[in-house]
Chains A and B, each alone.
Chain A
Amino acid sequence: MLYFARWKIALIILVVLAGLASTLPNFLSPDTLRAWPDWLPKRQIVLGLDLQGGAYLLYEVDRKDYEAKRLTTLVSDIRRTLREEPRIGYTGLGIQGSSVQVRIRDLTRLDEAKTRLEALRNPLVSSLFGGQEIDEFAITASDDGLVRFEFTEEGLAQRVRSVVQQSIEVIRRRVDELGTTEPNIQRQGEDRILVEAPGESDPQRLKALVGQTAQLTFHMVDTSMSGEQALQSRPPVGSIVLNSVDDPPLPYLVEEAPLLSGEDLTDAQVSFDQRTNEPVVNFRFNTAGARKFAVVTQQNVGRPFAIVLDDEVISAPVIREPITGGSGQISGSFTVETANDLAVLLRAGALPAKLTVIEERSIGPGLGQDSIDAGKLASYIGAAAVVIFMILAYGRFGVIADLALAANVLLIFGALTFLQATLTLPGIAGIVLTIGMAVDANVLIFERIREETRAGRSAISAIDAGFSRALGTILDANITTLIAALILFQLGSGPIRGFAVTLAIGIFTTVFSAFTLSRLLISLWVRKRRPSQLPI
């Protein structure tokens, strides 16, 4: 047990050096790292939100909202399809729960209507079932002329999947614009999106930017009556009352159908109004949008139109002259920041469906720093206590155990840095458990050596027997814990995973350091001193 081949010694030293090289960047400032030669690792450990502050937001696609939107579009599609020449007479077109119904008046043309409506079944390519086609809607028609459109389960699921996909892209564009460092945006399960922004100092703003649907629309203002009047009586057919963003909100009566929407925008930038010096948002339409905008403004000179964001009127300027250049300006009571955020939202595009926050954790940078400082201090004191205690208990062998322990911790941090695993508070718990088990490994070996010495063995044979007998025990104990760690990693979420990762890494480094490093150090010492009695 005490003989080591040269290559083995080299390998052990190499592993420890690799751990050191990987851990080292954590103790260096960014400036020093930049000057670092390229072949050395530069990555630093990733700290979890609980340790460095930042924002964790879990969103869920509002299925109800999405269904409602989709069904509204379907209704207008059905209307359009049936009104195509030759028209097919229908009645009672509308949304019933989560389906759309329409009754064909002339039963003799029911088959013709069915054939036409068949196109709206809207086959989608499934991303799950190997590109197989699935219908979004199931169409049923009864003999009395009633046609029903209902979401198929797979169709809706596929739609939600693509909504999540689109939302992730939009969110990524928005977050990137905000300049957040290394945001993590990913799908969670069927209909959820996780947004993590470690180190984000203004989680509130991030939340406001990510969660907003940002559907920009332009509507003509209905001037047939005032907003207040419309609220008290009833708005005319085809018009709705929308509130403004002002505090208190003012009601505006606008035409329900938008003239244009944000999809036609190509760019949006903040600038300052030359007269009032207030921040404004300049936007530019694409060619199609510019043409539509020109036509609309030409026809409506002198009338007000409303710029609406998510069903709230931002402003309602009067069209003074036709705007043919394809660009315009939104002014409102903006601050530089709100104007900037609006520009970001417009550039990134609207979310395809409403998102609801179902879990939110935002930790200010101050608290994170306090946690790290306290954690560091505590770790140093704890480490010092362990080191001193081991030396008191085992003398020279205690020093060896401490060296092995130090190498162990080094390897854990090296591995965490190398794998770019996130270190969280529960992760630190995993490390503490590892240290406990690593101490245990050394204690098991030393106590076994003591026992063998007491049983009358010579120094070298006691060490030999101590190591080989303790090996089985240490392996059994560590494998049992490793099994637990692997299962927790597989099934657990968030903090449980963080714990499992450090624990699993720690088990490997513990077994390594106890069985190679401690043994190597003791064997080197024995070879040098050739003791007849053990200092243990």
Chain B
Amino acid sequence: MYDLAVIGGGPAGLAAAYSAYEKGLRNIVILERDKELGGILNQCIHNGFGLHRFKEELSGPEYAHRYIEMVQDTSVEVKLDTMVIEITPDKKIFINSPKGYECIEAKSIVLSMGCRERTRGAISIPGTRPSGVFTAGAAQRYLNMEGLMAGKRVVILGSGDIGLIMARRMTLEGAKVLACVEVMPYSGGLTRNIVQCLNDFDIPLYLSHTVTDIRGDKRLEGLTVMKVDENRRPIPGTEMEFECDTLLLSVGLIPENELTRGAGIEMDPRTNGAYVFENMETSIEGVFACGNVVHVHDLVDFVSDESARAGAAAADYVQNGAVKGDVIRLQNGADVGYTVPQKIHRDTAAEKIDIFFRVRSVFGKSQVIVSSGDTEIQVFKRPYMAPGEMQHIVIAADKLKGFDTITVTAKEA
């Protein structure tokens, strides 16, 4: 019987395992389906990681390596090439690896399976179905892990960060990136990536545009891009034709929660992740979740922080038992898409509570208001907010003591 089983050895799992070890747990196992630790960071060879966490600029593999080294110096056991097939509500874990198919048990579990990319099907792009349509992450894997090019004349749909990073990467590898096309009137990625990955390479960004047709019987031959109206419907007469052999999709990420659902854990339809408390506990006592499996983050640094909280909470659960007591529920106010956490242990939460959320539209000078009923609890000022950038506020637990529900609202100042 393990004290803690961590599902997934990417940045979330590594930080959770290390944190639980630091808090005194010794019998910890990381279950990783790939042949090495590090998760998706291994294919993110660009820089920009670690500015918050390590106060220096690292590449993805370097960032992962820091944590891998930290974990290697502990008693944490790592099972690679091992896929979790099923988790039961009583914390039995069925694992499959070339070494065998078996059931292991753990007193606590951290879910850190990450997320997957949305596909062509998820956005129903019409047309033919040739090869040459990739998710940006798949093209990134081919290029950075396997040394193979997805194509030479490229259009990118979606301005999420992976798509922007791949626009630069493919250009540096000699491909011609013709355009980055975004259906929303604003970019879905970080501003720094728009500047460094598109503007610096003169790659045009078409906001409020989308791909409306795909052509080619075998390999992709071309596609049509059209401007869309405020309801995201294509406007006739705005067709632009691109001859290209590759379409990369960067149209969003979805937390990978098949195991979570299978275990019967309560899910939040807004995040597509589990409902979590401020200590990242799910609806099953002793099962915690962190990182992109809970909600999709922009920066790995925040994944590490969140996961350290989950690991520490798992250690606390094993050492001191379940956290009981009253619960404060968080609600989305106007223009807030979701919050994490969705629930707070009123009596036992740490002194300061981190609340993450995303806004639904672009804001200039604005306010984030935490309130309960008619009572305004705290107001935070922000110079700018956009859906592509995760928002973060820290509120003192003291201020929430008297309330059952609190609401987070965004509004223009």
Query: Do A and B bind?
Result: no
Name B's A-contacting residues (CB within 8 A).
Answer: none
Name A's B-contacting residues (CB within 8 A).
Answer: none
